[in-house]
Amino acid sequence: MCATKIAIAGIAIESCTFSPLLTTLDDFTLWRGNDLLARYPFLAAYADVTFVPLLAARALPGGVVSHAAYRQMTDEILQGLVRHGPFQGVYLDMHGATAVEGLDDAEADFFAAVRAVVGREALLSASYDLHGNVSEQIMRELDLLTAYRTAPHTDVEATRARAVRLLVDCLREGIRPHTAFVPIPALFSGEQTMTTVEPGHGVYAGVEAQVQPPGVLDASLLVGYVWADQPRVGASAVACGTDAAATGAAAATLAQSYWDVREFFTFPMPAASVDRCIEQAMQATEVPVFISDAGDNVTAGAPGDVPYVLERLLAHGVARAVVASLVDATAVAACEAAGVGGQITITLGGKLDRANGRPLQVTGKVEACAVVDGNHHAVLRVGDVAVILTAQREAFTMLEQFRRLGIEPAQEPMIVVKLGYLFPELQGVAAQSLLALSPGIVNPDVTALVYQHVRRPSFPLDRDMAWQPAPRLITLDGP
């Protein structure tokens, strides 16, 4: 028997279609060759399989991907498939919420292109973020899809490993799985559906049980990504297995369990206006208090340059605060020109998301300048507020990012972050975290968003609606 050959490729980004920014090739980190293989240490378990690294691309959540960037990445992957083929399988390391200029369903387009090269006999297995938006077209191209089961995501590698294990197992046993897909008419933000708090915790704890029935290989529940205005946006349940009826039942059960708790999804932390959050933080006796500038949450795809919360901190005259961060390349350059200790008057932010922010004029003292992974940073102290400025968009999710700029988060009373829910490291030092429903394009309250293309009815846009899961069973022709 000849050795099994599996190609590895992927394009992963969460694309906010409400963003004024376009994501270009420069925004992606690209892995090829051994660098790509090193991302998947679990591959070592399959000595009899030859894994061929093609291209993996991943970017910070942002705006819609330019057609040119998508074409360039896709062409490289397709050419690699042709050059190094034939392949028995393809592992696709995805996110699942990519939007591309001129394409309604970028992942479906990509998978169909991969399928066209490798043929109907090959198996395609994808790993997804649970914030991916699935469509029936996508499921018609894939043989296997498995998604994260945690948010915040702590099972990224485990999910990738599962996608590869499922693929190898099916190839070894000559299985072509049936898949089932249940779109759930529910739109919830990641903040409302964390798996560390109820009801998300309980619903996701139930995923494992749906993988157990005979004839079911895997099952996943996806919250979806709501800051995109497309017909496929929303929650879904998917399953794959050798028994079509059991596979359909697993997906339907998961979908029903999600639907049953729809009234109970809520923000995991107190959510209020920016002013209310600042007042509450000023009164706190235990610190640090983190305020998530949720409308301009970079990890949800927002530009990250709305200076509104900074403006309000200065208006309130807070005693001490950190803003992490504002993206403004011009301001960073001005800080670098002034040098550490220099005093400057400049405008901050309001240059990218002009609909929600206007440039804020400030006078401050440069406290630090640094270049980290090619991104220029500066800390400008404006009154009693230390403002972290970055030349390129960056999400401050780890303590080290603050520390290398001379800021110790545990010792700061008030820290504003352009996030939604706090990432685990920050949560670990937070005495309290507040969700500021601030101006921006990624409002975590989906009822405040203006949609034109999402499926209706959908909860909670349409509250009085009845719904029952109807699994769409897909069986591909195969070997």
For helices 106-118 and 67-84, give the axis angle rounded to 10 degrees.
Answer: 20
Phi first, then psi, for residue 91 (nearest 5°) are -95, 125
Shortest separation between residue 57's beta carbon and Zn ion, angstroms? 17
* DSSP-based three-state secondary structure for 259: helix
Given the complex with Zn ion, which of 13 and 291 has the nearer CB atom?
13
Backbone angles phi, psi at 378, to 5 degrees: -145, 150
Which one of 129-137, 255-263, 285-293, 349-357 is the stretch in contact with Zn ion (CB under 5 A)? 129-137
Q: Give me the DSSP letters along 1-22.
A: -PPEEEEEEEEE-BB-TT-S-E
Q: Please, which residues have CB within 8 angstroms of residue 187's CB and are 6 or more apart in sequence? A: 224, 226, 233, 234, 235, 446, 454, 458, 459, 460, 461
Q: Which helix (H) or strand (E) holds 245?
A: helix 244-260
131 vs 178 by CB, closer to Zn ion? 131
Residue closer to Zn ion (CB basis): 87 or 423: 423
Residue 239 Cβ vs Zn ion, minimum distance, rounded to whole Å: 20
Piece in contact with Zn ion (CB under 5 A), picked from 40-48, 130-138, 179-187, 362-370: 130-138
160 is a site residue for Zn ion (CB under 5 A): no
Helix and strand element counts for the chain (H, E): 13, 21
Q: How far is CA 166 from the centre of its chain?
A: 23
DSSP assignment, residue 423? P
Q: Give 128 or 459: the residue with its C-beta nearer to Zn ion.
A: 128
Stretch that binds Zn ion, among 36-44, 46-54, 128-136, 421-429 (CB under 5 A): 128-136
Instruction: Select from 105, 109, 129, 394 the one that contacts Zn ion (CB under 5 A).
Output: 129
Q: How far is the CB of 427 from Zn ion (least distance, A)?
A: 16
Of 5, 131, 160, 351, which one interacts with Zn ion (CB under 5 A)? 131
Nearer to Zn ion, 223 or 437 (CB): 223
Min dist CB 96 to Zn ion, Å, is 9
Q: Per-residue string for binding with Zn ion, 74-113, x by CB under 5 A? A: ----------------------------------------
Residues 219-278 that bind Zn ion (CB under 5 A): none
Which of 56-64, 125-133, 199-207, 331-339 is the region at the interface with Zn ion (rule: CB under 5 A)?
A: 125-133
Sheet holding 235-241, edge to edge: 216-222, 235-241, 178-184, 472-475
Structure tokens given for 468:
């029952």
Which one, 360 or 449, has the nearer CB to Zn ion?
449
> Which residues are CB-neighbours of 35 under 8 A, at least 6 positions away?
none
DSSP per-residue string spanning 138-150: HHHH-SEEEE---
By C-beta, is 131 or 232 nearer to Zn ion?
Answer: 131
CB of 163 to Zn ion, least distance (A): 16
Closest approach of Zn ion to the CB of residue 153, in Å? 6
d(CA 266, CA 193): 7
How many residues sit close enough to Zn ion to count as binding (CB under 5 A)?
A: 2
Comparing CB distances to Zn ion, the nearer of 157 and 169 is: 157
Give the nearer residue to Zn ion in terms of CB position, either 88 or 189: 189
CB of 183 to Zn ion, least distance (A): 19
CB of 438 to Zn ion, least distance (A): 21
φ, ψ of residue 126 in degrees (nearest 5): -120, 140
Write down the least CB distance from residue 414 to Zn ion, Å: 27
* CA-based torsion, 456, 462, 466, 470: positive or negative: positive
The CA dihedral of 162, 163, 165, 166, to the nearest 10 degrees, is 110
Give the whole-angstrom CA distance, residue 281 versus residue 302. Answer: 24
Pick 349 or 420: Cβ nearer Zn ion? 420
Q: Which residue is nearest to Zn ion (CB)?
A: 131
> x/- string (CB under 5 A) for Zn ion, residues 356-385?
------------------------------
Strands 216-222 and 235-241 come out as antiparallel
- Would you give the end-to-end CA distance of the chain in angstroms? 16
Binding site for Zn ion (CB under 5 A): 129, 131
